[in-house]
Structure 1
């Protein structure tokens, strides 16, 4: 096995938090238990996806507020909150509140764009303003201003017995430095760098200059750091689906291989008008996965990862996968568990 040029410094995992609509509490409890397990195994970060109007986590900030009270060390992230569904001022308040509750462990990941199934959801989401809503980078810029403590209103002071602030409260020191942008194109990578944000890359990118996933991702990382004030030191976290099978049962191995096999066709060519490229899921022993990661052009550019858990597995499958990642795969990549 080749030696990495630099050891893996931060290890995170990402879960979608699926639940049975007939028993949503059980699914949310499973997510919280996985975050607790991640802390016990030494993971540096636990991240949750969002799923609006689906049977997954619809309110990641609320879930992480609960997780903040059941953990003490592990960082808590969102990958990612689509700002088209959010009011930036209200989201800034929620993020600051959870960051305070967690002791400064929140890592909000955000993105922009029109909400999916826009024509169907617009009447419920923006019944009076759908035609005038802005879904571009300006929405991020507003959020950043509020999180950084810039005025949100020209009114402040005392009114009766109530005291008003002109800035978002509570103030969460350090939070602006822990905001990530989920980008999948060269334009978004450059823009995130110019804003001084951190960059989340995932197993989904846009095929612009190549149809080689690893090369596309590498070029986006390069563009981000070229435009970032901190250059090569700018933080980038890579996200891929990895499924180590070291301690898996024969039944689990068969299920994992079948899962990856069914998803493989979408990875061979760009998909749809946006030319979306998906990374193949990495299934195998930790040694085999480590070999493939060392050969991955984008992985060689990062020292942080957020490995994504597969969508539709059971709780015990996730326990096995997380345990193998923390005890076998990540150490093979030079990582050491958090104290």
Structure 2
């Protein structure tokens, strides 16, 4: 059994061919898609975070709105770029969104991806410390955030406060019990996956990875997941970790599907991203019986407990519901995912 959810990048563009022509369109359609996905039995609604782009950015207002409109579906990110985040303010907004949703938040965080602008985190008021890289800074912000999620008091109370204080050091509020165990690290390398395990975070693996062995993406990811789980056991954590993988999967059910994705069949590609040689995963697009055969060979999906489906959000809510439902009904049961 696998949890199956969707991941939206939240693109919009002022084009007559786009179903999302503004930020307002994307935000409202994201809520509608999450509600509809829950109704057809999907397990998760996840959203990418990019700054300085016509895509979804600050995630917590959206996550809170979805939490208020749904009852069961997991609500998450994949991923929040921690180079841009004030861990203290992030704790308050994440805590509020989690409480609104009834404890369904699944926050994917990471160092981030290539940016639209040069060193965009500087515009947010952040600078790496002496001897740090921006990646180091992102991991440092993440470590502070994880510490704050423990809910322990750390701030000296004012002896003359506006409102009475409880005894002892104060923590940030609202505190969201259990959210610490629902933090995921988006990892592109084996080393950061091992670090995530040591830090007690779940693991998110995307459609690209550092090309460390010149093997197909799904094989490299499967090895990464096994290294992560070994490191988790070695770290002595007592709970079972979760691992997700992202895939682009498009069942060809009708002529519309064929027009959109009939020529999308591809293979892994090698390229460079942020000066890192990476392997980029293929797109799965075929009739259900072909998809079932192909996906059965994907070793990373087999290793993961959660599968996220990359959705083309600019094609609109109805079409994306059709895609998700096609996978849930015509692909997942034959592979034992349901």
| TM-score bracket relative to the smaller structure | 0.7 to 0.9
Instruction: Give the aligned partner of residue 3 of structure 2.
Output: 10
CA deviation vs aligned residue, 1:157-184 (integer Å, no higher than 9, x gap): 6614354762121111111111111111
The answer as to 2:231 corresponding to 1:227 is yes
CA shift, 1:152, in A, is 4.1
Moved more, 314-323 or 181-190: 314-323
1:288 paired to 2:290? yes
Q: Structure 1 residues 90, 269: closer, same or farther in 2, change over 3 A? A: same
Equivalent residue, structure 2, for 1:4: none
CA distance in 2, matches of 1:231, 1:48: 29
| 1:86-140, Cα deviation, whole Å (9 max, x unpaired) | 10111111111111110010011100258725636355222xx535375242221
The correspondence of residues 181-196 of structure 1 with structure 2, limited to 5 A, is 181-196=185-200
Match of residue 82 from structure 2: 83
Of residues 177, 180, 185, the one that matches 2:181 is 177
Q: Which residue of 2 aligns with 1:250?
A: 255
What is the DSSP-based 3-state SS (H/G/I as helix, E as strand, rest coil) of the residue aligned with 1:275? Answer: strand
The DSSP-based 3-state class of the residue aligned with 2:34 is: helix
Against the structure 1 CA distance between its residues 331 and 232, is the aligned structure 2 distance closer, same or farther, given a 3 Å change threshold? farther
The corresponding residue for 2:127 is 130
SS of the counterpart of 1:298? helix
Structure 2 gap ranges (5+):
15-20
User: Mean alpha-carbon deviation: is it higher for 144-153 or for 59-68?
Assistant: 144-153
Partner SS, residue 5 of structure 2:
strand
Asked if 2 retains the 8 angstrom alpha-carbon contact of 1:243 and 1:284, the reply is yes
- Take 1:79 and 1:156, find their aligned partners in 2: how far apart are those partners? 38
| 1:109 matched residue in structure 2 | 108
Q: Which residue of 1 aligns with 2:18?
A: none
For residues 313-332 of structure 1, the aligned pairs below 5 Å read 313-332=315-334
Q: Per-residue CA shift, 1:261-285, capped at 9, x if unaligned?
A: 5xx47x3324353011111011112
Distance 1:158 1:209, change over 3 A: farther
Cα pair 1:193 1:224 within 8 Å, conserved: yes
Q: How far apart are 1:60 and its partner, in Å?
A: 1.5
Note the C-alpha offset of 1:75: 0.9
- In the aligned structure 2, how far is the partner of 1:298 from the partner of 1:199? 12
Q: Match for residue 208 of structure 2?
A: 204
Shift in CA distance, 185/144, structure 1 to aligned 2, threshold 3 Å:
same
Would you say the 8 A contact 2:311–2:320 is kept in 1?
yes
Give me the CA root mean square deviation: 2.4
- CA gap of 1:301–1:66, structure 2 versus 1, over 3 A, is same
Secondary structure of the 1:228 match is helix
Farther off after superposition, 51-60 or 304-313: 304-313
Contact preservation (8 Å) 1:211, 1:270: no
2:6–2:44: 8 Å Cα contact kept in structure 1? yes
Classify 1:120/1:144 alpha carbon distance in 2 versus 1 (closer, same or farther; 3 Å).
closer
CA contact (8 A) 2:271 2:277 kept: yes
8 Å CA contact 1:201, 1:217 repeated in 2: yes
Normalising by structure 2, we get a TM-score of 0.87
What CA distance in whole angstroms lies between the structure 2 residues aligned with 1:214 and 1:169?
41
Q: Could you say what secondary structure the match of 2:30 adopts?
A: helix
Give the structure 1 partner of residue 150 of structure 2. 148
